């Protein structure tokens, strides 16, 4: 079941969403401002167009009006030069403000100002001349004026202004289009984001509501499970409120008290749990009450005894803890306890076992050499037997390693295998030749047991040794004898794995101990007999009976010779089998004689069979002859036929 999103995750999510929303909103607003700015610049350009065109029209109108008066003499055409100047100047000032951001346009406006000033001055002079000298002279002055050229010059400047604005208008319109596109894109993106966010929020709220419903169901189920668990728990559980009234007691606790009452809740705890001291048998303060007084977790003493309703007593062990509300106010206490009567029995048994262990240690110390070393191999303990045999004092041995008794007899490979075995946490067994303090050598049957820590690594080793010098001397004498025997001799351990061959074996087979140890001897067996031999020898090795068999073995020259093989179990003083002793006796010559005798026998049997057949034919002939003697004609005819056949 998935859990609803935590407040931190939801808050973080909303911060991220809000950040994205604000970012998109800012981008949208920025694009909106850019679009508005571009639009203002486009409007600005249109205003420049309009004002420049209006300026041109105003100049044309005023100039042509005065020009019309001078031509026609009609006073309706008369325009006051000062009013004309003010009107044109006002429009020029307005246009100057609009194009104040463009240096080229400013230069053109200044030039228009000069043209206007010059023309207004000319008009003023014409009007003054008209008033003083008459219209005819004024007309003559007008003829001196190039009005059309002036208007064309004004028009040319206005056209340049408008061309410049047209060029700017293209850029400003494109900027408006770009900013509009960006605005609408970010706007629709923001709108889509808001819609998606609303949909997501809808599903998120719905998801959280469903998950909370699931959690509520799970909590209800867990609460039911908890009640059942507490009811079936192997430990007794009792809780009380601040007044010492029982608020909960599980089935185990009720059984431990021995109470037959169906309902113990709302009972005073002292009336249900009577706890006494094992030694004094006096009633002690109920731990549920005591823990509320001291307001700390407490453990039942080692001598706590619960008196049951039937007056029987059981040893109990457990802990008591105060119960606090969410605002840390003490509201009660809870006791968790169990019956440790069997543990008490086990404890007594352990004490007895400890005594037995001490007795065993005493027996081992009296009968064997015991040495304990640390992980680095330094001796930390040695018993008296080891000191006695090695002739070193305990002070001379403690802190030293086993090189102090190293005889140098064993190879580096042997010692490496020993240390590798025990360093891997495995027991090593073997025979070791050591040197005493006086330089004499002695053999010990050794078992080294590693002690492992909680990580499975050795932290110390105990070596138990028994001196076997005399036995090794006997074995050496035996090996000398075995190596000089004519038979092939071998020895195997109790499970049939061969560990030793005499020299005759290696001379005959041309093999080495590395090739032959264990079950390597099967390599020199004839394949036609191998399965039969292996099955039989395993059967006898398992049963411990004397084994005997005959089979061919391959020699160093590749030829097979027949051997009669026999193995007997070797038992120790207690009748336990410790190894097998076996021999292989060459019976090839005997086998060949036997085969020849079998062949001769077959030949004799064949000749006897032939004689038997001949005798049978002669018997039949005699019978026929005796029968025919009774009938002479028939005898003669039969005799003639017999003679002819012969």
CATH number of the domain within which 517 lies? 3.30.450.20
Mean pLDDT on 341-370: 78
Residue 223 lies in a domain: no
**More reliable by pLDDT, 616 or 571:** 571
Ranges assigned E (strand) in 269-312: 274-277, 298-299, 304-307
Among residues 266, 291, 293, 275, which one has the least CA distance to residue 236? 275
Tens digits of residue pLDDT in 272-288: 888 888 777 788 888 88
Q: Quick one: 610 and 524 in the same domain? A: no
The CA distance from 354 to 352, in Å, is 5
Residue 208 lies in a domain: no
Q: What is the pLDDT of residue 531?
A: 93
Q: Quick one: 629 and 566 in the same domain? A: no
Q: What is the pLDDT of residue 147?
A: 62
The CA distance from 431 to 410, in Å, is 10
Residue 480 lies in a domain: no
Residue 611 lies in a domain: yes
Residue 605 lies in a domain: yes
Token pair for 622: 């005699």
Residue recorded with tokens 């309902």: 263
Contacts 24+ apart (CB under 8 A), 311-316: 312/258, 313/276, 314/256, 314/339, 314/341, 315/278, 315/339, 315/340, 315/341, 315/343, 315/344, 316/236, 316/256, 316/275, 316/340
Q: Quick one: 292 and 309 in the same domain? A: yes
Dihedral sign for Cα atoms in the order 220, 263, 291, 321: negative
Of 161-165, 285-289, 524-528, 623-627, least confident by mean pLDDT is 623-627
Q: What is the pLDDT of residue 189?
A: 75
* Residue pair 92/84 in contact by the 8 Å Cβ criterion: no
Among residues 23, 17, 64, which one has the least CA distance to residue 186? 23
* Backbone dihedral angles phi then psi of residue 434, each to the nearest 5 degrees: -115, 170
Strands 369-374 and 246-249: unpaired
Q: Quick one: 30 and 179 in the same domain? A: yes
Q: Which residue range forms the structural domain that includes residue 527?
A: 486-586
Q: Quick one: 577 and 602 in the same domain? A: no
Angle, alpha carbons 591-592-596 (nearest 5°): 115
The CA distance from 231 to 252, in Å, is 7
The CA distance from 434 to 427, in Å, is 20
* Residue pair 344/315 in contact by the 8 Å Cβ criterion: yes
Q: Quick one: 160 and 186 in the same domain? A: yes
The CA distance from 535 to 71, in Å, is 151
Tens digits of residue pLDDT in 138-173: 445 444 456 666 677 777 777 877 777 777 777 767
Within 10 angstroms of residue 201's Cβ, the number of other Cβ atoms is: 12
Mean pLDDT on 54-62: 70
Half-sphere exposure of 168 (CA within 13 A, CB side): 23
* Centroid of chain to Cα 419: 33
The CA distance from 426 to 429, in Å, is 10
**Final residue in a domain of this structure, among 547, 564, 586:** 586
Tens digits of residue pLDDT in 459-468: 999 999 989 9
* Centroid of chain to Cα 197: 38
The CA distance from 351 to 368, in Å, is 25
Mean residue pLDDT of the chain comes to: 79
Among residues 593, 596, 595, 571, which one has the least CA distance to residue 581? 571
Of 70-74, 158-162, 373-377, 604-608, least confident by mean pLDDT is 70-74
Q: What is the pLDDT of residue 628?
A: 55
Among residues 74, 58, 80, which one has the least CA distance to residue 124? 80
Q: Quick one: 104 and 28 in the same domain? A: yes
**More reliable by pLDDT, 376 or 75:** 376
Dihedral sign for Cα atoms in the order 69, 74, 76, 81: positive
Q: What is the pLDDT of residue 137?
A: 44
Q: Quick one: 242 and 335 in the same domain? A: yes
Residue 213 lies in a domain: no
Ranges assigned E (strand) in 487-588: 488-493, 498-501, 547-554, 560-571, 577-586
pLDDT exceeds cutoff 80 at 401: yes
Residue 2 lies in a domain: no
Q: What is the pLDDT of residue 106?
A: 78
* Backbone dihedral angles phi then psi of residue 238, each to the nearest 5 degrees: -135, 130
* Backbone dihedral angles phi then psi of residue 500, each to the nearest 5 degrees: -150, 140
**Highest mean pLDDT (candidates 21-35, 58-72, 494-508):** 494-508
Could you tell me which residues are beta bridge partners of residue 245?
A: 268
Q: What is the pLDDT of residue 204?
A: 73
Of 5-19, 279-293, 559-573, least confident by mean pLDDT is 5-19
Three-state DSSP state, 573? coil
Q: What is the pLDDT of residue 6?
A: 62
SS (H, E, C) 156-200: HHHHHHHHHHHHHHHHHHHHHHHHHHHHHHHHHHHHHHHHHHHHH
* Centroid of chain to Cα 285: 52
The CA distance from 122 to 469, in Å, is 151
Strands 441-452 and 458-467: antiparallel
Q: Quick one: 57 and 176 in the same domain? A: yes
* Residue pair 266/248 in contact by the 8 Å Cβ criterion: no
Q: What is the pLDDT of residue 512?
A: 93
Domain count, the chain: 5
Of 87-91, 288-292, 623-627, least confident by mean pLDDT is 623-627
Q: Quick one: 39 and 184 in the same domain? A: yes
Secondary element (H or E) of residue 239: strand 236-241
* Residue pair 394/421 in contact by the 8 Å Cβ criterion: no
Residue 19 lies in a domain: yes
pLDDT exceeds cutoff 80 at 615: no
* Centroid of chain to Cα 34: 56
* Residue pair 309/267 in contact by the 8 Å Cβ criterion: no
Q: Quick one: 609 and 632 in the same domain? A: yes
pLDDT category of residue 121 using cuts at 50, 70 and 90: low
Prediction pTM value: 0.37
Q: What is the pLDDT of residue 567?
A: 94
The burial of 414, by beta-carbon neighbours within 10 Å (0-12 exposed, 13-18 middle, 19 or more buried), is given as exposed
Dihedral sign for Cα atoms in the order 544, 548, 550, 554: positive
pLDDT category of residue 5 using cuts at 50, 70 and 90: low
Secondary element (H or E) of residue 317: strand 313-324
pLDDT exceeds cutoff 70 at 67: no
Tens digits of residue pLDDT in 303-336: 788 888 888 888 888 889 999 988 888 989 988 8
pLDDT exceeds cutoff 70 at 60: no
Q: What is the pLDDT of residue 138?
A: 47
Q: Quick one: 57 and 166 in the same domain? A: yes
Among residues 553, 583, 585, 551, which one has the least CA distance to residue 567? 583
Mean pLDDT on 469-485: 80
pLDDT category of residue 261 using cuts at 50, 70 and 90: low
The CA distance from 606 to 342, in Å, is 87
Sequence-distant (6+) residues with CB within 8 A of 112 are 55, 92, 154, 157, 158
Tens digits of residue pLDDT in 169-221: 777 677 777 777 777 777 777 777 778 777 877 777 787 787 778 777 777 77
């Amino acid at each position: 079941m998935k859990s609803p999103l935590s407040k931190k995750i939801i808050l973080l999510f909303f911060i991220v969403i809000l950040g994205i929303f604000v970012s998109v909103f800012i981008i949208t607003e920025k694009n909106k401002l850019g679009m508005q700015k571009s639009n203002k610049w486009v409007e600005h350009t249109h205003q420049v167009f309009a004002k420049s065109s209006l300026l041109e029209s105003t100049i044309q109108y005023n100039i042509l009006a005065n020009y019309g008066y001078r031509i026609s003499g009609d006073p309706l055409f008369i325009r006051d030069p000062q009013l004309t100047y003010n009107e044109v100047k006002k429009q020029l000032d307005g246009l100057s403000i609009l194009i104040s951001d463009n240096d080229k346009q400013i230069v053109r406006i200044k030039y228009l100002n000069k043209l206007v000033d010059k023309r207004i001055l000319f008009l003023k002079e014409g009007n003054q001349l008209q008033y003083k000298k008459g219209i005819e002279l004024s007309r003559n002055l007008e003829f001196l004026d190039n009005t059309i050229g002036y208007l064309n010059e004004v028009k040319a400047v206005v056209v340049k202004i408008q061309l410049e604005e047209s060029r700017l208008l293209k850029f400003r319109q494109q900027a408006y289009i770009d900013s509009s596109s960006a605005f609408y894109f970010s706007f629709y993106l923001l709108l889509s984001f808001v819609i998606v966010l609303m949909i997501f929020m809808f599903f998120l709220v719905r998801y959280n509501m469903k998950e909370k419903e699931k959690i509520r169901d799970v909590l209800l189920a867990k609460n039911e499970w908890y009640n059942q668990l507490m009811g079936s728990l192997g430990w007794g559980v009792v809780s009380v409120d601040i007044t010492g009234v029982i608020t909960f007691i599980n089935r185990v606790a009720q059984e431990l008290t021995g109470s037959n009452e169906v309902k113990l809740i709302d009972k005073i705890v002292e009336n249900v749990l009577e706890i006494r001291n094992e030694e004094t048998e006096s009633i002690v303060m109920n731990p549920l009450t005591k823990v509320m007084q001291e307001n700390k977790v407490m453990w039942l003493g080692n001598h706590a005894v619960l008196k049951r309703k039937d007056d029987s007593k059981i040893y109990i062990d457990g802990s008591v803890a105060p119960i606090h509300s969410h605002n840390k106010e003490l509201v009660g206490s809870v006791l968790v306890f169990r019956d440790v009567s069997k543990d008490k029995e086990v404890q007594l048994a352990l004490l007895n076992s400890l005594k037995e262990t001490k007795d065993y240690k005493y027996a081992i110390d009296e009968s064997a050499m015991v040495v304990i070393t640390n992980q680095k191999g330094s001796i930390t303990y040695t018993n008296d037997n080891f000191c006695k045999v090695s002739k070193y004092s305990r002070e001379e041995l403690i802190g030293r390693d086993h090189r102090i008794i190293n005889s140098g007899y064993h190879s580096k490979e042997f010692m490496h295998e020993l240390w590798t075995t025990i360093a891997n946490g495995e027991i090593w067994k073997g025979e070791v030749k050591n040197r005493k303090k006086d330089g004499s050598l002695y053999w010990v049957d050794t078992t080294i047991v590693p002690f492992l820590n909680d990580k499975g690594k050795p932290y110390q080793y105990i070596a138990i040794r028994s001196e076997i010098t005399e036995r090794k001397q006997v074995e050496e004498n035996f090996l000398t004898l075995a190596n000089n025997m004519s038979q092939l001799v071998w020895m195997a351990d109790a499970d049939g794995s061969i560990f030793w061959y005499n020299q005759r074996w290696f001379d005959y087979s041309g093999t080495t101990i590395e090739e032959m140890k264990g079950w390597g001897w099967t390599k020199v067996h004839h394949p036609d007999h191998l399965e039969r031999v292996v099955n039989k020898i395993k059967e006898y090795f398992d049963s411990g009976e004397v084994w005997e068999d005959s089979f061919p073995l391959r020699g160093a020259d590749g030829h097979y010779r027949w051997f009669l093989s026999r193995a007997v179990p070797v038992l120790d003083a207690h009748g336990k089998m410790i190894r097998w002793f076996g021999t292989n006796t060459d019976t090839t010559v005997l086998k060949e004689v036997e085969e020849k005798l079998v062949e001769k026998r077959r030949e004799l049997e064949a000749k006897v069979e032939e004689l038997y057949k001949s005798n049978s034919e002669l018997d039949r002939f005699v019978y026929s002859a005796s029968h025919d003697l009774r009938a002479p004609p028939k005898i003669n005819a039969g005799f003639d036929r017999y003679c002819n056949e012969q």
